[in-house]
Amino acid sequence: MSRDYVARDPRTGEKISLGKKRQSMIKAAFRAPQGPWNSLLPDQIRDLLEKRVSTIEVRWMDKRVLLDRLDAIRAITALPRTEDEYIHSTILNGLCSRSSQERIASLDVFLVGSLRDSDEMMEMLDVMIDDPDLTVRKKARQVLITCAPIFPSALEETIFRLLRSEDENIRNDAFNALREAAKQWPEVGVLHLDELIREDDVDLRRRGARILRTIAQRAGAAGWDLIGWALDDEDPEVRRIASRTLPGLADSAPRIAQIMIEETLFDEDDDVRNNSLKALAKMEKDDSRTQTLILDGAKHRDPRIRLNCVKMLPIIMSGNNLRQTALELISEESDEGIIQHLNKMALDISIEGTEDEKNRFLAPLPKTEDDELPDLHSLKSGKKKKLEEE
């Protein structure tokens, strides 16, 4: 008796409900791959699979096409659900075939068959990834990427192994599979990244850091811990990649972002500091810790950090406080561009500005009785003009 696929939490094994997007994807996966084999009728599929005939001619897109057993394998999921057991055994047998073409055809319907009955399927996929034939191996890795978000627990060990492969192509596909799984299951990303960011292999740490953005918004405290670890990495590239999550965190988890900004705003790497500044610009400016960060940044050794923080000063203060702070910073500043910005802030326009600027601060004169009387000359002119018109 075939069994439908049941989604389970990769940590607890408990049954969970899938979102509408994932449900739609699974429904789409139940559809067979498109091709001339879609013209085969159920009886014709069985005849080809059981070798009662070697070929069958069908009409496809206004052409007559000759189909064989490989086409029947790709069409097998068109059979009714009552034959799921037959479909399952046929796909498994096809994966074990001596013919590489038959193994590839079976991989074409692997996901659909797995969703109908997943028994032994993920174990077989692990075997196919190490197939002697290069084309079969590549196809199996493509299937892995597709299956990873649907069968995260069953493929956990397979992905773990392939992530550490010395073959760059295999490693690339494994990280693509992990990224797809992490989009749907942040817990899966956390599970793998928790080990990847501690690896001695710097390439693994860098690739792992790139997946942090996928889980940063939804993985909660576990994801924030991973970002913090990556921001402390000895490799600047790992820190750069991890720091790209900070602007997003400033929106979704400002308190956590604030702690990380305090650590990264003064990082020795330019890109890390710039990403930290982008996050700082999104923070609530009334917060005392944010104000302290901006003031400290205005005294940083890097002129770019100082300039960006100086530009934020009018947002966190005004009036005499702004002028006094600007004057204090000018006394210690050596960069001419920054000094120009500070001079504008230190200037009291009501006293030192131009005549027009000073006048803006003057109170309007009170109205007199003469101001309220009508203009006699205007009245006379208007009356004269009216008489002329008449």
Of 106, 139, 168, the one marking the end of a domain is: 168
Q: Which residues contact 122 (CB under 8 A, 6 or more apart)?
A: 114, 147, 151, 154, 155, 158
The pLDDT score that the predictor gives to residue 335 is: 87
pLDDT tens per residue across span 279-337: 988 888 888 888 888 888 888 888 888 888 888 888 888 888 888 888 888 888 888 88
pLDDT tens per residue across span 42-84: 999 999 999 999 999 999 888 999 999 999 999 998 899 899 9
CA distance 102 to 128: 12
115-129, 238-252, 260-274, 285-299: least confidently modelled range: 285-299
Residue 5 has pLDDT above 80, yes or no: no
Note the pTM of the prediction, 2 decimals: 0.77
**144 occurs within a structural domain:** yes
pLDDT tens per residue across span 12-44: 555 544 455 555 555 555 566 788 998 999 999
**193 occurs within a structural domain:** no
Number of domains in the chain: 2
Of 144, 168, 192, the one marking the end of a domain is: 168
Query: Residue 377 — pLDDT band, cuts 50, 70, 90?
Result: low
CA distance 63 to 56: 14
**383 occurs within a structural domain:** no
**195 occurs within a structural domain:** no
143-152, 272-281, 334-343, 359-368: least confidently modelled range: 359-368
**338 occurs within a structural domain:** yes
Of 118, 137, 168, the one marking the end of a domain is: 168
Distances (CA, A) of 354 to 280, 295, 350, 351, 357: 35, 30, 9, 9, 5
**224 occurs within a structural domain:** no
Q: What residues form DSSP beta bridges with 57?
A: 66
Range of 47's domain? 1-168
Query: 295-330 as b/e, with b when 16 or more CB fall inside 10 Å?
Result: bebbebebeebbbbbbebbeebbeeeeebebbeebe
The pLDDT score that the predictor gives to residue 283 is: 86
**247 occurs within a structural domain:** no
The pLDDT score that the predictor gives to residue 33 is: 73
Co-location of 15 and 162 in the same domain: yes
Co-location of 152 and 22 in the same domain: yes
**25 occurs within a structural domain:** yes
